[in-house]
């Protein structure tokens, strides 16, 4: 499963009104879930001990509205998008986050600007 498939599963879960979605396990997926939880885009996730079992992600709603209103994908398997630190801009005026794969791991756009590192722009979410 690519990181794109993971974020699309979460987006589709919100559109379908589901409370829990399952995503395949990978190191990038777990790190991305940690950041999404920290910023309130998901409620909880459970990583099972068995590496073959999927990760259960509990989606977050504000009232009856999904916590995620839009997802914009940048890098795709056939077209990677890289940005230097000076080219990384805030998402929707700081109301959303972008996840960037850097040499120091996956981090948000704000963290990347703070640590002055660029990298592969994965997706933006708000």
CATH of the domain at 14: 3.30.1370.30
**Model's pTM, two decimal places?**
0.90
Residue 12: strand, helix, or coil: helix
Do both 62 and 76 map to the same domain?
no
Query: Residue 8: exposed, middle, or buried by beta-carbon count in 10 A (0-12, 13-18, 19+)?
Result: middle
Residue-range definition of the domain harbouring residue 58: 3-66
CATH (domain of 107) = 3.30.1490.10
Residue 111: strand, helix, or coil: helix
Q: Quick one: pLDDT at residue 118?
A: 98
Do both 111 and 77 map to the same domain?
yes
Domain count, the chain: 2
Confirm if 120 and 101 have CB atoms less than 8 A apart.
yes
Whether the pLDDT of residue 1 is over 60: the answer is no
Query: Across all residues in the chain, what is the average pLDDT?
Result: 94
């Amino acid at each position: 499963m690519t990181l794109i498939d993971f974020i699309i599963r979460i987006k589709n879960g919100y559109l379908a009104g589901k409370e829990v979605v399952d995503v395949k396990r990978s190191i990038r997926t777990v790190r991305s879930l940690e950041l999404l939880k920290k910023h309130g885009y998901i409620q909880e996730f459970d990583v099972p001990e068995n590496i073959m079992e999927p990760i259960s992600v509990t989606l977050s709603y504000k009232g009856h509205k999904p916590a995620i209103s839009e997802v914009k994908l940048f890098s795709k398997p056939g077209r990677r998008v890289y940005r230097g630190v000076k080219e990384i801009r805030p998402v929707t005026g700081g109301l959303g986050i972008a996840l960037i794969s850097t040499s120091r791991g996956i981090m948000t756009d704000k963290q990347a600007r703070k640590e002055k590192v660029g990298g592969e722009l994965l997706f933006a979410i708000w």
